[in-house]
A and B are shown apart, each in its own frame.
Chain A
Amino acid sequence: MELKRRGFLTIAGLTLLGLTAKPGWDIFSKVELPEPSPTPERLAKKKWGMAVDLKKCWSLEKCKDCIDACHRIHNVPDLGTLKEEIKWIWPVPFEKVFPEHELEYSGEDYHQKPVMVFCNQCDDPPCVKYCPTRATWKRKDGIVMMDFHRCIGCRYCMAGCPYGSRSFNWRDPRPFIKKVHLEFPTRTKGVVEKCNFCEERLNRNLLPACVEACKEKALSFGDLKDPGSDVRRALYHRTIYQRLPELGTKPKVYYIL
Chain B
Amino acid sequence: MDMYDGKKIIPGLLIFLGLVTYPFWHNGVSGKTGYVPKPKLPVDKKECVEPKDYIRVNHKDLLDDWKSSAIRKGRRTYVASNQKRYTMSLTRTCMQCHTDRAEFCDQCHKYAGVENKCWDCHMFPKEIKKE
What is A's interface to B at a CB cutoff of 8 Å? 32-38, 40, 43, 139, 145, 147-149, 180, 182-188, 199, 203
Contact = CB atoms under 8 A, between A and B. Distances in A.
A182 B125 contact: yes
Contacts of B1: none
B121 A35 contact: no
Contacts of A188: 117, 120-121
Contacts, number: 55
B76 A183 contact: no
Interface centre among B77, B78, B125, by most chain A C-beta atoms within 10 angstroms, is B77
Contacts of A139: 74
A40 B87 CA distance: 18
Nearest to B78: A34
Closest 3 CB pairs of A and B: A37-B75, A185-B121, A35-B76
A139 B70 CA distance: 12
A40 B73 CA distance: 8
B87 A35 contact: yes
A43 B117 CA distance: 31
Q: Could you say which interface size class chain B belongs to? A: 20 to 34
B71 A185 contact: no
B91 A145 contact: no
Interface string B67-99: 101011111111000000111110110010000
5 contacts: A34-B86, A35-B89, A38-B74, A187-B121, A203-B76
B128 interface: yes
Contacts of B123: 180, 182, 185-186
Contacts of B69: 37
Nearest to B75: A37
Contacts of B72: 145, 147
B125 A186 contact: no
Nearest to A189: B120
Interface SS of A by simple majority: loop
B128 A37 contact: no
B74 A183 contact: no
Nearest to B64: A149
A180 to B, nearest CB: 5
A149 B76 contact: no
Contact of B77 (A34, A43, A180, A199): A34
Contact of A149 (B67, B73, B87): B67
Contacts of B88: 35
A116 to B, nearest CB: 26
Contact of A34 (B76, B91, B128): B76
B66 to A, nearest CB: 11
A33 B85 CA distance: 8
Nearest to B124: A182
A180 B71 contact: no
Contact of A185 (B73, B86, B91): B91
Contacts of A32: 87
